Every structure is written in C-alpha cells, then in structure tokens.
Structure 1
Amino acid sequence: MNLTKKMLLGSVLAYSLSIIHVQAQIEDKRGILEKGAELVKVQDGFSFTEGPAVNRFGDVFFTDQPNNKIYKWNAISNEVSLFKDEAGRSNGMYFMLDGNLLTCADEDNQLWSIDSDGDVQILISAFKGKKLNGPNDLWVRPKGGLFFTDPLYVRPYWEGIRGKEMEQDGEHVYFLSEDRAELFRVAEDLVKPNGIVGSPDGKYLYVADIGDKKTYKYEIREDGYLTNKELFCEMGSDGMTIDSRGNLYLTGDGVTVFDRKGEKIAHIPVPAKWTANVVFGSLDRKTLFITAMDAVYTLRMKTQGVW
C-alpha cells in the first residue's frame, strides 16, 4: 500500500488504518508471546530503521539513519511522528530517567545527549585524542555509567580520509562513568562488537560480536570494568534487548530469543532482509517493538521488558 508520508518536523506520518498483519510461523517453546499475538507492521517507507529506545511513558523513539532523522512512536495512538531532523546519523539510543535521550551519533563519531526540545549536548567526541570508529549501541547500567560498542562501518557520508584509515587500534567496548570524567576500554579482544545490553540487576553485560557470530556474557565490576568473560551463544546480533526474566533477544534473521542459560527458546520471523534492533515498549512494557529495514513492527508479549 503506497501512502504519502509527511516528513515535516512535528508532523504525524500517514499510516494505514487497516494495520498489516504479517502471518508467519513463530517458534515459541516457553510461551513468551501473548496468546494469539501477530506481528503487526506499524509503518513503512523509511530507508533503514535502527536504535529503538523507550521512554518512561512507553513511547519508542527510533532512527532512520540514512535520512538522518529520529522518529517517535506513540504507544497509545500508534502514530509515528518526527522528533528530530539533523540527528547526527544516530544509531543506537537509550533513554535516561531524566528524559534525556542518549544516542550513538556516528556522523562525527560522537555520543550525544538530546533533551526533550531536541537540543544536543556532545558527551564524547574522541578517545585519547583520536576519533572513535563510530559508536553503535549503548546500555546504561542501573548504578550509573554507560557501556557502548565502537565497531567500524564505513559510512558514505564520511569525507576525506575518514573511513579509509581507522584512528583507533581496533573495534572495542567502552565504559563512560556517570560523572562523565572517565572513559576507558573494557573489552579489546572482539572482532566487531555491536549489540549490547545488561541484565536487569546490573550484574552482567551481554555483548554481541557480530564479526565472529558470537555473543558473550561478562560480570560487571563496581568500577565498570568487566570480568569472567564467557560464551553465551553461538550467534552474533545487531541490536538486542532483554526481558524481566533475563531472556535475551538477538536480531539479524528476525528475532531469536535465548533464555538466561543460553538455550534458544523462540524465533520470530520478520518479513525483511535484515532485522536491526528491538526493544520493549508500551506503558506495560509488553509490546516488542522491532526495527527492520524500511519498516517498524510490533508484537504483543507475555514477557515484560525492563523499566
């Protein structure tokens, strides 16, 4: 169905009143989906959707990175509206409790904080005087401080030597302290770290090494350093999320769910060549919000996301 999209700031995107239900064979061994749940296409017409982040009201903000925009999905009205243009080519995002939106703004290899009015504060612009590769995804731990991944994906909007020569000595995982005074590496032995999320209790960190098709689990020390690395599953991931039971949701070929022991318990096919990211939205945190190529989808769950 071809619909005209309104792309002006603050305007609401046109969307189909007859929401498209995507029929698919969903594998669900533990009954984590709501009974009778169907994958619903909320909106299409984007270039590449990424970075879903949920605010305290259950609304989900997501990016259309090639078009340099951040959109908002209203959990009550099911409407999509433009939140910010010229969004720094934001990728992964995360909401702070104060309402500020943290984003991996890889147009200039930075980490941003965006307030409710769309005003930007640059949190990180370099590491030891050199540009980062391009912050990709991040997670804020309950005790404060945040972790982010820094793989290299050469962007067509980078000019000159950028993208041709990596300024850092590899693709790593970093920790930024709560007071923003300390920035240091916490994982330096991965091929291409991408998706990242922590356990609800803040004790463990999961990092997807998409370059090596593996996901690892670490213990988080009080100071932010990581210890006791162990293989969680033989699958990498783009973005990912976790529910209140500790189940991990990985993306790429649809959404694949693993329990806290690393056993595969569900697979949710998505009608797209690539599923980039996922988060729990709605006020009850039982709506799985999925970004996949040119569209965004929702799926009602029995399991619940983490506040």
Structure 2
Amino acid sequence: MDIDRRALLAGGAVLGAALAFPKIAKAQPEPPGTQPSRYPDDAWEVLDPRFSKYMIGNTPLQRQWSGAFWAEGPAWNGVGRYAVFSDIPNNRQMRWDEVTGTVTPLRHASNYSNGNTFDFEGRQISCEHSTARVVRYGRQGPAEVLAETFEGKQLNAPNDAVVHPDDGGIIFTDPGYGSHWYYEGNVRELELPTSIYHIDASGGAVTRLTDEIFKPNGLCFSPDYRTLYVADSAATHHPEPSRIIAWTVEDNGRRLTGRREFATLENGFHDGLRADVDGNVWAATGFAGEGQDGVHVYAPDGTKIGQIKTPEGCANLAFVGEHRNRLLLTASQSIYTIYTAAQGAHIA
C-alpha cells in the first residue's frame, strides 16, 4: 500500500504533540479541599453581632483529608507544627502536618484512643477506650499509665482531658462510650458512675470531682482557668437534652464548685470544646442535622452568637497554627480547617 509521505509526517506531528502534552488528553481530579468557594463562605453564620468580629470573609472551609470512620480528639503540637487526632474505629492515631498538609499514621493499635492533649512539657496525653486508661507518651515513647481504676474498679472509658498549668494536674471525663460497643472499644458493664476525675501531677492520686452529669464528654478551661466547661452529651443514652455544664475551678482543679448550666442544645449533641482568648466557647456539634452540624459558638454569658457549618457532623476541634487562629475540625470521616479572627486560649 502506498502511503502519502505528507500524510505520514502530519500524523507524526499530531502524535508528537500528544506525547509532549499528555495532561491535555485527560483532566486530573482536584484533591479534597481545593474546590473553590464563593466568599464569604457559606459555612459562616452570624447569629449575634458579637460574632462578626471573629468571621473572616475571604477564607474557605477546606476539607484537608478524608478516610476515617469516626475522627476525634485533635490536639495541637506547636513545636512539631502538627495536630494529632484519633480515628477511633480504625484503632489508630493520625498526624496532620501543617507545613505539607499531609495526613499520615502516628500510631497503630492505639487502644481505640479518643481525646488527646499535650501537657506543658510537650508530652502527649491520650484517653484510651478499650483499656479504659489515661496514658502519657514520654520522651522515650512507651505509654505511661496515669489512671485506669478508681476505688478498685475499672474506669468506664476515658474520653477527653485537659491539663492545669500551675501544677500539671489533669482533669478527664469518663462517660463510657468506649464500653458500649466493639466498634469503639470493648463491651462491658460500667462499674462506676459517669464522672469527671482529677489526676494529681505529683503523686498520681485519682480523685472524683463530680458525678453530677449524665455523659461527660469534651471539656475545656476558660482563658483564666477559673471555669471548667464540660459537654454533657446526655441525649445519646438519656431522655435529656445535651448541655454544656460549667463549674468554678478551685485549688488548681482539685475541686469543682458552683455547678451551673451554661447552654442547652435542642437537637444533636455537643462534643469537643475549646475556648478563645475572649472567653467564648466553641463547641463541636454532631447529629443535629444539615445546617446545625459543625461548630456552635457561645459568648461568656451563654448566648449562642454564631456557627460554622460543616458537611459532616463535627466531633471535636482545636485551634492550631502559629497564632492559634485556625480551627481544625474532626468531622465524622474527614478533617477540615478554617481560619478565624479568634485566637485559641490554650496551647493544646
């Protein structure tokens, strides 16, 4: 067969162009979090003029990663510039790197850990579900057990923890969620009332602070450490609405007095809590439905002043970054970030 030389050369030129520019032939999908958003992002909702000062009109809510079954317990490490968080059902701790934006495994077989924080020496503290322990990872790596029993009985399943700066004492909640199903720990009868406890930093003694709460969940201090806020996710197991309860902190957290209801949620429940430097409480919210899941923000007087809405139910949150002005949200299967004009009150 006689092939026209000019046709052959033309065909070769087309093939060469295709090989030189292969990306033209097939569009590449955008990674999570890169889809553009019209400003101001629909995630923001101002309910009270006081919230307007914390809203940034030209910043997006970005999904940084997806792949968890139930993401929880974020804590910020300022030295390493990373946040640790738990993927409870997958029994692992993950690490989000602020510099690269990547998420990588930090610990496998984490004993179905939930809440995490860092003490003022930079050591990671984790609440474990399957072992019903509070542990601390020191400089050498192996976990040191800080609490696993009270009055000779096994703890329920520690959930979240905070550290007092004056003496390093730790306050943790023990609602028992990791004992209700194998999906997030083990199945066992609770031996103790659902309670809030204190671990003495010097001697390690564990003291019950209160059991006047149905399901003590996330917790945070006010900026001056004089108030402790605790999310009571009662609605998961009781015919009660979910609330945020506040106590006055006495003796560096060894005693709680003046119990009072700070806020009540009609649908869903609050989980993780964080305070900003102005004393507002930022509450992760899930199972409340579209337009309500995300973060609810309360002024110091308990008025809900604004929301940040997320596509998935939000379990927990942390202020991250050099200025602690960026929220990292653990939301069901994903983690999200959004910059704010607020600043987190505490380091972890």
2:33–2:64 CA contact under 8 A, matched in 1: no
- Asked if 1:55 is matched to 2:77, the reply is yes
Partner SS, residue 144 of structure 2: strand
Letter in 1 for 2:339: R
Partner SS, residue 50 of structure 1: strand
Provide the residue aligned with 1:19 in structure 2: 34
Structure 1 segment 2-41 matched on structure 2, within 5 A: 16=31, 19-20=34-35, 24-28=42-46, 29=49, 30-31=51-52, 32-41=54-63
TM-superposed deviation, 1:91: 0.2
The count of corresponding residues between Structure 1 and Structure 2 is 289
- Asked if 1:226 is matched to 2:250, the reply is no
Gaps of 5+ in 2: 1-29, 235-239, 286-292
Question: Which residue among 167, 175, 180 is the counterpart of 1:151?
Answer: 175
Distance in 2, Cα, partners of 1:296 & 1:21: 17
Structure 1 residues 25 and 34, CA gap change in structure 2 (3 angstroms): closer
Partner SS, residue 89 of structure 2: helix
1:256–1:266 CA contact under 8 A, matched in 2: yes
Letter in 2 for 1:19: T
Partner SS, residue 220 of structure 2: strand
Provide the residue aligned with 1:198 in structure 2: 221
Q: Deviations over 1:216-258 (max 9, x none)?
A: 1111111510011111111351111111111101122211000
1:195–1:240 CA contact under 8 A, matched in 2: yes
TM-score, with normalisation over the residues of structure 1? 0.88
Structure 1 residues 135 and 68, CA gap change in structure 2 (3 angstroms): same
Letter in 2 for 1:26: W
Question: Which residue among 296, 304, 307 is the counterpart of 1:264?
Answer: 304
Distance in 1, Cα, partners of 2:36 & 2:321: 19
Partner SS, residue 134 of structure 1: coil
Distance in 2, Cα, partners of 1:157 & 1:34: 38
Distance in 2, Cα, partners of 1:76 & 1:108: 33
Provide the residue aligned with 1:163 in structure 2: 187
Letter in 2 for 1:262: G
Q: Deviations over 1:146-196 (max 9, x none)?
A: 11110022131689xx6342111x111111112243211111111111111
TM-superposed deviation, 1:20: 4.0
- More contact order relative to length (CA 8 Å, sep ≥ 6): 1
Going by fraction, where is helix more abundant, 1 or 2? 2
Structure 1 residues 103 and 20, CA gap change in structure 2 (3 angstroms): farther
1:83–1:118 CA contact under 8 A, matched in 2: no
Provide the residue aligned with 1:289 in structure 2: 328
- Asked if 1:93 is matched to 2:81, the reply is no
Structure 1 segment 265-280 matched on structure 2, within 5 A: 265-272=305-312, 274-280=313-319
Gaps of 5+ in 1: 1-14
Please say which structure displays the higher CA radius of gyration: 2
* Identity level (%): 29
TM-score, with normalisation over the residues of structure 2? 0.78
2:55–2:340 CA contact under 8 A, matched in 1: yes
Provide the residue aligned with 1:239 in structure 2: 272
Question: Which residue among 70, 76, 81 is the counterpart of 2:104?
Answer: 81
Distance in 2, Cα, partners of 1:34 & 1:94: 27
Distance in 1, Cα, partners of 2:75 & 2:36: 23
2:158–2:173 CA contact under 8 A, matched in 1: yes
Distance in 1, Cα, partners of 2:32 & 2:91: 27
TM-superposed deviation, 1:33: 2.4
1:75–1:283 CA contact under 8 A, matched in 2: no
Question: Which residue among 46, 63, 68 is the counterpart of 1:46?
Answer: 68
Structure 1 residues 249 and 21, CA gap change in structure 2 (3 angstroms): farther
